[in-house]
Chain A
Amino acid sequence: MPGIDECLLEAMRLPGARGAALVDWTSGLALGAVGEAPGGDHETTAAEAAELARMAAEHGTFAAGGDDLPPVEDVIISNGDSYHLLRFVDTSFDSSVFLHLWLGREEGNLALARIRLGEMAARLVLG
């Protein structure tokens, strides 16, 4: 069963992966980070990504309809040279974490990464 570091290293094996982190969106703390971060600073990246994730998680507009569903699965940002993929981790205990994967746009495959990151998020907490 993978731990946090194994999960992040697995994410880094995706084509085009530049950096990956596990972030708490309430506090903005990176509980783990590997690879590069935009601007070179994982802490700043975590705080800013947490801000985005919190907005998505807290606003009813983006929430799924069913009560038993997690409100949001992913947040995807694309820019001229990269993608940011934020995958919420649905834990059986109370938490507010997501996986953040930064992908180069040339080599990255957003659809594949989205599926794989979802699987990794599930394996991280479900085994």
Chain B
Amino acid sequence: MMELVLTFTAVVLSLAAAGAIVRIARGPSLLDRVLAADVLLAILGAALCIDMAVNRHLNNLMLLVAVSVIGFIGSVTVARFVADRREQLNES
């Protein structure tokens, strides 16, 4: 049964990742791309989780936490940067 679940989730997650990548490629603005990259990281985290659940180990757990921290710091940094740049443009 686990084989079936693994196949199904692999297909679903690949589709989801493809969707996120399409949004990164198309995304009209920088913020859209950041958001889509964040989702891509979350999908990666989901894949790590499924690997842990199916193979019954915990080796990826720290990687999972690290991935979500990177996603958080990344999007917050870019959001700040975007807001600041626009304010400077308005002033000049």
**Do A and B form a real pair?**
no
Measuring CB to CB, which residues of chain A are less than 8 angstroms from any residue of chain B? none
Measuring CB to CB, which residues of chain B are less than 8 angstroms from any residue of chain A? none
